[in-house]
Amino acid sequence: MLLRHTPSEIKERNALTINPAKTCQPIGAMYAALGIHGCLPHSHGSQGCCAYHRSTLTRHFKEPVMAATSSFTEGASVFGGQANLLQAINNMFTVYTPEVIAVHTTCLSETIGDDINQIIRKAYEDGKVPEGKHVIHCNTPSYVGSHVTGYANMVAGMVKYFSESTGRYRDQINIIPGWIEPSDMREIKRIAKEMGVKIILFPDTSDVLDAPQKGKHMFYPEGGVTIPDLRSTGDSKLTIALGPFGTESAAALLDTKCKVKYELLDLPIGISATDRFISGLSRAACVEVPVSITAERGRAVDIITDMQQYFYNKKVALFGDPDQLMALTEFLVDLEMKPIHIISGTPGKQFVPRIRNILKDKVPNANVRNGANADLFLLHQLIKNEPVDLLVGNTYGKYIARDEDIPFVRMGFPILDRIGHSYFPTVGYSGAMRLLETILSALMDRQDRDAPEESFELVM
């Protein structure tokens, strides 16, 4: 019993976080930046930050992750990191020849007060940025928000530095995905293509963090949104922003900066959220929803119909990132399941009311918490007090799942012990089918395992 020390009595803690359901901003900025083609993310701080982010992303994606660091020393921490960053920019363009360097800060460089805008300006003035190349940045103090905030900040940074309104109208839709997998980004592009809609998806980590084996080191893999495409987002018809926590700041900035209106939707996880996404996209682009997409929906609905008795009234505990949790909660409620404990380490006032609104009278007494002290220790205590039939969350849920003997579906970040997430989507109708399959398999494997011999069934 790894977590044998977890007491079931819940006491309010005022300081401590035990087994967090979040991590810090910079890794989100790094992940988003990898979704620009030819981009080298740069961590402005101590060497360890960059090493930890690269290792964590590598464990999650099983892919090489390239990023550089300012390698702060004691001197830099006293006198400021300007010299380090200028030298770093020069070195990166010389040796690694990126199209873009995407700088994010850390708790260290934020606290000592480095002004990145000014340092980047100086890099251009000193001729350290070659013609046609770019340096962009965002501020990601680790002591504010979470990894999701960092992702949102870097995506907004892309708009700030690249989006431009030329006055020339383009028949294209911007889609800004919240923090989802490369597989999900690929799926969104497939859906748009199927519908005949030209989209600019940014960031786009497909073909970056799910790259094929080529027998050589691709420092910059083939995927990622290109700079011309990013520029053109200022001339698009509309932005569809998927997931308020990850995308609203970027979408709002694009509206302010280039007058491109936006529609804010949930991540298209589950039937209802995907319906809203598909109809939003069809409305925006003035296209009919093709038969092929309707058929996908039909197949997903058919699975739910076939297997409804296995979902009915099952209690679920969820933890992870707010954009995923909002869509997933709605999906589970659509399946007539009961999400009774929902935890996110990411702070943000809209989370709890939104989840309550989805749960309404279906699960009125659910425990919904986010922000400070909403961690896996609390989730475990909640589960001890009111057990569940299923746990959904990232790899760190496996301790609770094992100790309490609960079926466990892995979803979220990070997933360190299974593959699949980066290859098979959870968005769209086909993503819904995959989720249905993984949830059902977890529940039914458990039923098979626990069934007494006399009621062990062949046909289910």
Partner 1 sequence: MVKVLAQREKQVFRKGEDTFNIGCERNSVAGSVSQRACVFCGSRVVLYPIADALHLIHGPIGCAAYTWDIRGALSSGPKLHRLSFSTDIQEKNVIYGGEKKLYNSLIELIDIYHPKAAFVYATCIVGIIGDDVDAVCKRVAGEKGIPVLPVHSEGFKGTKKDGYRAACEALLKIIGREATDKVPEFSINILGDFNIAGETWVIRDYYRRMGVEVVSVMTGDGRVADIGRSHGASLNVIQCSGSMMYLAKKMKEKYGIPYIRVSYFGIEDTSEALFAVARFFNDTEILERTGLLVESEVERVNRQIQRYRKKLKGRKATIYVGGAFKAFSLIKALHLLGMEVAVVGSQTGNIDDYTRLKDMCLPGTIILDDSNPVELANFSLEKEVDLFIGGVKERPLAYKLGIGFCDHNHERKQILAGYEGMVNFAKEVYSSVMSPVWRFSPRKTGRMANDIG
Residue among 209 and 363 whose Cβ is closer to partner 1: 209
Rounded to a whole number of angstroms, the minimum distance from the CB of residue 17 to partner 1 is 4
* Cα separation, 374 vs 392, whole angstroms: 16
* Cα separation, 409 vs 268, whole angstroms: 19
* Cα separation, 342 vs 353, whole angstroms: 12
Structure tokens at 156: 């907004």
Residue 38 CA to its chain's centroid (Å): 21
Rounded to a whole number of angstroms, the minimum distance from the CB of residue 455 to partner 1 is 36
Rounded to a whole number of angstroms, the minimum distance from the CB of residue 405 to partner 1 is 18
Residue among 60 and 276 whose Cβ is closer to partner 1: 60
Residue among 142 and 324 whose Cβ is closer to partner 1: 142
Residue among 213 and 455 whose Cβ is closer to partner 1: 213
Residue among 307 and 379 whose Cβ is closer to partner 1: 379
CA distances (Å), origin 238, targets 184, 263, 429: 21, 8, 23
* Cα separation, 78 vs 134, whole angstroms: 28
Rounded to a whole number of angstroms, the minimum distance from the CB of residue 210 to partner 1 is 11
Rounded to a whole number of angstroms, the minimum distance from the CB of residue 366 to partner 1 is 24
- 23's CB contacts (< 8 A; 6+ apart) are 56, 146, 147
Q: Are strands 100-105 and 238-242 parallel, antiparallel or unpaired?
A: unpaired
Rounded to a whole number of angstroms, the minimum distance from the CB of residue 72 to partner 1 is 4
* Cα separation, 242 vs 293, whole angstroms: 19
Q: Examine residue 64 and say whether the peptide bond preceding it is cis (omega within 30 degrees of 0).
A: no
* Cα separation, 317 vs 275, whole angstroms: 25
Residue among 66 and 318 whose Cβ is closer to partner 1: 66
Rounded to a whole number of angstroms, the minimum distance from the CB of residue 236 to partner 1 is 31
Structure tokens at 423: 């290859």
* Cα separation, 422 vs 34, whole angstroms: 14
Residue among 207 and 263 whose Cβ is closer to partner 1: 207
* Cα separation, 323 vs 172, whole angstroms: 25
Residue among 141 and 223 whose Cβ is closer to partner 1: 141
Rounded to a whole number of angstroms, the minimum distance from the CB of residue 68 to partner 1 is 5
